[in-house]
């Protein structure tokens, strides 16, 4: 079991969609939301995904396909 | 009692031991160093600082190390130049340039943060230094690791210019080029930092690393004769530097070295990568990440880790933010060089361009004691100005031709 932390962002058009619910249904990952700020025009969440590493990788690819932006919890580490 | 009390979450306030941790386990907020200021107040005075080494380590009581400095012994104490010519041009009586173009050993302010990060990393038992960088940070980590005899890994995007790769290879670190786009590189580096027992200076050592930037505030106060400036203009990449300058000023007040701090902290970005300045202009307390497209590559961080805190700092200090075009960046570099003889990299052009704007807007006034932070050397980014500085006069080896070109008085 792996636990990985991410910062995910929702573009305005994705805010009404139940993305976290969908990811939990489509992939074998458990999502723990630690902090979040979702508003009318933008939204972000700091989350932890638990599951097999490959399944988390697939879930991240799935999130990106849905138009959600996924970054490391540290945001940009390349300086 | 130790001067470092704990690491503390900037969001929920949960405290952690002073180890190589950077994210709160509870809320995933970033961690920073919490100090025992009562003890530091007893140990630190203007006289004790003035008697210290001519480096940033003269402020070691306010830096996150337990013993003495061991790495980066020559960083800091760079000149604070009273920029009379540039000041006259801009209409400012007391403009100062904090010139980190000449920081040691790699000619950028990153030598400060890396000196602190690797000294702390050594204390924590690390033998390998690492970073992900496209420029100044990689140079500094590689140079310091070489001097300290540490193993070193530098991760870079696969499409980095040859000159920048060479600037790292000379110190003989293991340079790893990663295929893929910026986001792929970024994510892999974060994952490697989580897997290996390495001192990844701006990831797992970040709480200590970032504290090195405070010395840019400490030095300016001391060099101004123990007073805080009225205004500072600071370039923003991750936003960390700006927040730490503010923290440094307030720490000096906390331990009694300054009476009042009413400094306005102003942030500068390039328009091609201005998530923080744009949020400020729009009156938002959050920023929207961007894909960078600017010549100011050392500031090209589209999703800045400290962007939110930079917005908060500028609001708290009643400063301002602005952004400049790439043409204005080049104009800023030339203006600083041609008035003060200081050749800054593109980030310096951003700072000077933004300073100009803030003066024009009336945010910075004639009598304000103003400090502009110049964070890197122009010799590192010559490609940015190569087409805008003219050409040499070319003449045959003949005195007649010389005088025809320049006249009897030597004026052309």
Domain that holds residue B5: 1-35
Of B54, B83, B84, B59, the residue nearest B249 (C-alpha):
B59
Assess whether B353 and B238 both reside in one domain. Answer: yes
Of A43, A37, A31, the residue nearest A4 (C-alpha):
A31
* Beta bridge mates, B16: B7
Assess whether B19 and B87 both reside in one domain. Answer: no
Sign of CA dihedral A22, A24, A28, A32: positive
- Using DSSP's 3-state secondary structure scheme, residue B16 falls into strand
Contacts for B35 with CB less than 8 Å, ≥ 6 apart: B3, B4, B5, B62, B251
Q: What is the mean pLDDT of residues B106-124?
A: 97
Residue B63 falls within a domain, yes or no?
no
Q: Where are the domains of chain A?
A: 2-35+48-71
What's the confidence (pLDDT) of residue A47? 98
Question: What pTM does this model have?
Answer: 0.96
The distance of B52 to chain A (nearest Cα, Å) reads 31
Assess whether B241 and B357 both reside in one domain. Answer: yes
* Tens-digit pLDDT profile for residues B245-303: 999 999 999 999 999 899 999 999 999 999 999 999 999 999 999 999 999 999 999 99
- Using DSSP's 3-state secondary structure scheme, residue B269 falls into strand
- Identify the burial level of A21 via C-beta atoms within 10 angstroms of its C-beta, where 0-12 means exposed, 13-18 middle and 19 or more buried: exposed
pLDDT at B410 over 70: no
The verdict on a CB contact (< 8 Å) between B133 and A72 is no
* Tens-digit pLDDT profile for residues B136-148: 999 999 999 999 9
In which band, very low, low, confident or very high, does the pLDDT at B191 lie, cut at 50, 70 and 90?
confident
Of B306, B324, B321, the residue nearest B270 (C-alpha):
B324
What's the confidence (pLDDT) of residue A35? 96
Residue B29 is nearest to which of A35, A75, A76, comparing CB atoms?
A35
Number of domains making up chain B: 3
Averages of pLDDT over each 10 residues, chain A, 79 residues: 93 92 97 94 94 96 94 91
Residue B389 falls within a domain, yes or no?
no
Assess whether B273 and B352 both reside in one domain. Answer: yes
Assess whether B146 and B244 both reside in one domain. Answer: no
Q: What is the ipTM of this complex?
A: 0.94
* Tens-digit pLDDT profile for residues B330-367: 999 999 999 999 999 999 999 999 999 999 999 999 99
Q: Burial code of B93-126, b = ≥16 C-beta within 10 A, e = fewer?
A: ebbbbbbbbebbbbbbbbbbbbbbbbbbbbeeeb
pLDDT at B409 over 70: no
In which band, very low, low, confident or very high, does the pLDDT at B172 lie, cut at 50, 70 and 90?
very high
Residue B409 falls within a domain, yes or no?
no
Assess whether B99 and B199 both reside in one domain. Answer: no
Q: What is the mean pLDDT of residues B292-316?
A: 95
Residue B145 falls within a domain, yes or no?
yes
Q: What is the mean pLDDT of residues B13-18?
A: 98
Assess whether B139 and B241 both reside in one domain. Answer: no
**Residues of chain B found within 8 Å of residue A78, distances taken between Cβ atoms:** 132-134, 155, 157, 182, 185-186, 189, 301
Of B16, B3, B29, the residue nearest B309 (C-alpha):
B29
- Residue given tokens 């797992």 in the structure block: B204
Distance CA A7, CA A36 (A): 9
The pair of three-digit structure tokens given for residue B318, joined into one six-digit string: 């009643």
What's the confidence (pLDDT) of residue B412? 53
Q: What is the mean pLDDT of residues B205-226?
A: 98
Assess whether B253 and B287 both reside in one domain. Answer: yes
Assess whether B151 and B92 both reside in one domain. Answer: no
What's the confidence (pLDDT) of residue B411? 56
Residue B28 is nearest to which of A5, A9, A71, comparing CB atoms?
A5
What's the confidence (pLDDT) of residue B407? 87
Other CB atoms within a 10 A radius of the CB of residue B370 amount to: 28
Q: What is the mean pLDDT of residues B61-89?
A: 98
């Amino acid at each position: 079991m792996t636990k990985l932390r991410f910062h995910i962002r929702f573009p305005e058009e994705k805010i009404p969609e139940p993305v976290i619910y969908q990811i939990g249904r489509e992939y074998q990952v458990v999502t723990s939301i630690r902090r979040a700020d979702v508003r009318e025009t933008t939204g972000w969440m700091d989350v932890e995904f638990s599951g097999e590493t490959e399944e988390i990788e697939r879930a991240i690819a799935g999130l990106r396909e849905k138009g959600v932006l996924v970054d490391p919890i540290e945001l940009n580490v390349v300086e | 009692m130790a001067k470092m009390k704990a690491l503390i979450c900037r969001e929920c306030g949960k405290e952690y031991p002073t180890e190589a941790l950077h994210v709160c386990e509870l809320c995933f907020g970033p961690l920073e160093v919490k100090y025992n200021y009562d003890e530091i107040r007893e140990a630190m005075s203007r006289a004790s600082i003035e008697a210290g080494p001519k480096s940033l380590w003269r402020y070691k009581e306010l830096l996150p190390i337990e013993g003495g400095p061991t790495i980066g012994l020559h960083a800091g104490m760079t000149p604070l130049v009273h920029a009379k010519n540039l000041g006259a041009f801009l209409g400012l009586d007391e403009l100062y340039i904090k010139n980190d173009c000449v920081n040691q050993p790699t000619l950028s302010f990153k030598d400060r943060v890396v000196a602190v990060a690797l000294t702390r990393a050594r204390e924590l038992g690390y033998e390998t230094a690492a970073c992900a960088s496209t420029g100044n940070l990689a140079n500094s980590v590689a140079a310091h690791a070489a001097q300290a005899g540490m193993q070193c890994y530098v991760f870079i995007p696969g499409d980095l210019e040859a000159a920048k790769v060479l600037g790292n290879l000379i110190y003989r670190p293991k340079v790893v080029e990663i295929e893929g786009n910026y986001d792929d590189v970024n994510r892999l580096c974060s994952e490697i930092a989580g897997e290996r027992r390495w001192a990844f200076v701006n990831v797992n050592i970040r709480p200590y690393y970032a504290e090195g930037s405070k010395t840019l505030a400490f030095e300016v106060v001391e060099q101004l004769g123990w007073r805080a400036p009225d205004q500072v203009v600071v370039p923003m990449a991750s936003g960390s530097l700006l927040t730490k300058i503010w923290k440094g000023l307030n720490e000096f007040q906390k331990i009694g070295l300054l009476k009042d701090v009413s400094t306005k902290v102003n942030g500068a970005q390039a328009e091609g990568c201005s998530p923080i300045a744009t949020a400020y202009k729009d009156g938002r307390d959050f920023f929207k990440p961007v894909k960078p497209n600017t010549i100011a590559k050392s500031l090209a961080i589209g999703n800045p880790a400290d962007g939110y805190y930079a917005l908060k700092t500028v609001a708290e200090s009643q400063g301002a933010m602005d952004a400049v075009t790439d043409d204005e960046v080049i104009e800023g570099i030339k203006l600083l060089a041609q008035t003060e003889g200081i050749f800054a990299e593109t980030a310096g052009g951003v700072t000077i361009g933004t300073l100009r704007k803030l003066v024009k807007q009336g945010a910075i006034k004639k009598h304000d004691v103003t400090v502009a932070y110049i964070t890197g050397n122009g010799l590192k980014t010559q490609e940015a100005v190569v087409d805008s500085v003219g050409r040499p006069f070319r003449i045959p080896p003949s005195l007649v031709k010389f005088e025809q070109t320049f006249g009897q008085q030597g004026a052309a």
